[in-house]
Amino acid sequence: MNNPLTEIRIKPAQMAEYDIVETFYRTLIESMRDSEFSPEWEVGVYPTEKFLRDAITEQTLYLASLKESLVGAMILNHEYAPEYENVKWQIDAGRDEIMIIHALGVSARHQGRGIAKEMVSSAIEICKNSSFKAIRLDVLRKNIPAAKLYLSMGFKYIATIKIYYEDTGLTDFQLYERLI
């Protein structure tokens, strides 16, 4: 029996794929709007068109495809909320020595199949191959499935802090870090 995860292809997005990416996030946001573990993203607010286009230009937006269908996306870059500066992380590292996972999402139809895990594994490999010291991220405090995923992938819970984002306002986020 074939393992469908071996058919997942993760690659940087190209600008010609912008419309597909925008549709992916809009559909994901709409499908998760009333779910118990909604990321609370808002169409046009997060992720914004500029954020997505900049990530594509900078080659930091990664797409996960299964049989030519886009099933997941994430951004992996050095940008983080100012509140990260006041946190005691496991390792002291400059902005250019860490990567941050943003906007990781899997289509509603494909959730629960290990695709997010494959995407995080890919992020870890990218960071290992580029000699980064750590990967960091934040998760809404109520997003239990995401927290469980990151813990299972070797991330360590660091703290819960309030962070202001356009889409969520001032909200409690759990911070995680994985040393590379």
Mean pLDDT of 88-114: 95
CATH number of the domain residue 105 falls in: 3.40.630.30
pLDDT in tens, 102-119: 999 999 999 999 999 999
pLDDT in tens, 38-79: 888 989 899 999 999 999 999 999 999 998 899 999 999 999
Owning domain of residue 149: 4-179
pLDDT, residue 37, reads 83
d(CA 54, CA 144): 30
Domain count, the chain: 1
Say if residue 1's pLDDT is above 80: no
Measuring CA to CA, how many Å separate 127 from each of 49, 59, 81, 136, 148? Answer: 26, 14, 20, 11, 21
